[in-house]
Amino acid sequence: MSLVKKRYYFYDFFKTQDGIPSFYGSVKSKSAQTVLYDSFSNSTENQPVCKINHIPDYLQIEYNNEDNLNIKSLNRDLGYAIDLNNVSDINSYVNQQFKKGRTIRRYVSKLESSFNITYKRYYGDIPKDVYDELLQCLFKMVQKRFVQLNDINEQINDDIRWKTTLEETYALIKEKRASLFVIYEDDKPIVISIGHHWGSVFYYVMCSFDIDYAKFALGHVNFYKQLEWCINEGYEIFDCGLGEYHYKKRWSNKTYILLQQVICNKGNILDELIANVEITLTLIKKNLALEKLKLYLKSIKKTFIKTNYKALECNISYINEQDSNLQDYTKINIKNDDYAFLRKILFDFLYSKNERKEDVLVFKNVTNNNTYFFKGKKNMMQCDIL
């Protein structure tokens, strides 16, 4: 339980500046001194004690009436970001960041050569029906992905939190404080990502993808295209957020400290007591490793999560043209939901054999319902479902 009346997460300031406490006079990027927020005031006396979490230390904060404030700061978490100030183009960055930059570019070219791919960013305007459809699709992608991982995503599992995301994001896109980036295969979304914008800072909020396309490393493709856009648009920071995820470490060239601050006016005995108690409680939690305990309990909880996901088992064999015999096969349409289970098998075939989706015909054995045949321009494959 907290004694503080006003609690903030710093990233909420990306959404609106109306609620920023009057203690803050300006917020700038340390590297280029770009002003993100400027609202100097001579009065903070009516401002209650504030606790602000997750303040990235790549920002420089100036305070209103700083001499009259009691400001207590703690290092809490580690965040990952990409500093774009000395990055000229996406390919030079990829070459610098990865031992084999061509591997990342190959994921992009493989995807584009195998499917009819388009990229779309909704930033400033999006029809409401399109928005609703995309967010529903994002929800299903996240749900399906976490079932595969035998885990629960807290953001979509909390109905109130997800409803808030739905309502806020649409308004923020219209205000150019957020954007929705979508990778389409024909007219089907296969990657959907939400980002927040604050001046020269792009904050990567959440993303998911269609797991049937997993072979194409859509996470890397998404990062490549998003980062390319940010470089071209002159952004200074691509903030990947907190959390030590493998993909963040691979793409990021910068780590930063996330601070926690408790701020109050000097001279108010009760406010200063509350601030001191709040900081003391935080230190106790940190020293007792309660955060690590919470992570441990979460990992234990995960072992009790039971999902219905089961990877499809099959035998794959590649066939020479002279050995192919389609007499007992009938052509099927892979777009039919009855054959949805075959899509990942088809897409893996496209990736491994450099085939294009529109060039591949799929057949079903009329005498054995578990045997299927994939015929591309250059390769043929038989699949036996176990």
Predicted confidence (pLDDT) per residue in 327-385, tens digit: 889 999 999 999 999 999 999 999 999 999 999 999 999 988 899 999 999 999 999 99
Taking the chain, what is the end-to-end CA distance rounded to the nearest angstrom? 54
Residue 47: helix, strand or coil by DSSP? coil
Please determine, looking at this structure, whether the domain spanning 86-235 carries the CATH number 3.40.630.30.
yes
Q: How many angstroms separate the CA atoms of 180 and 71, rounded?
A: 36
> What was the pLDDT predicted at 44?
57
**Beta pairing partners, 9:** 53
> What was the pLDDT predicted at 1?
46
Q: How many angstroms separate the CA atoms of 105 and 111, rounded?
A: 10
Predicted confidence (pLDDT) per residue in 236-253, tens digit: 999 998 877 788 899 999
What strands, in cross-sheet order, belong to the sheet with 201-209? 6-9, 50-56, 254-265, 69-83, 237-242, 201-209, 188-198, 178-185, 117-122
The full set of domain ranges for the chain reads: 6-78+256-295, 86-235, 314-385
Q: Is the pLDDT of residue 309 over 80?
A: no
Residue 172: helix, strand or coil by DSSP? helix
Lowest pLDDT segment from 162-176, 212-226, 283-297, 307-321: 283-297
Residues of the chain with pLDDT > 90: what percent? 51
- Could you tell me if 360 and 298 are in contact, meaning their C-beta atoms sit under 8 angstroms apart? no
- Could you tell me if 182 and 191 are in contact, meaning their C-beta atoms sit under 8 angstroms apart? yes
Residue 28: helix, strand or coil by DSSP? strand
Predicted confidence (pLDDT) per residue in 109-131, tens digit: 999 999 999 999 999 999 999 99
Of 269 and 91, more confident? 91
CA atoms within 13 A of residue 79's CA, in its CB half-sphere = 26
Give pTM, 2 decimals.
0.88
Angle at 303 between CA 144 and CA 315, to 5 degrees: 55
> What was the pLDDT predicted at 108?
97
Mean pLDDT of 184-194: 96
The average confidence (pLDDT) of the chain is 86
Looking at residue 19, what DSSP letter applies? T
**Who's near 82: CB < 8 A, 6+ residues apart?**
93, 227, 237, 238, 240, 251, 252, 253, 254
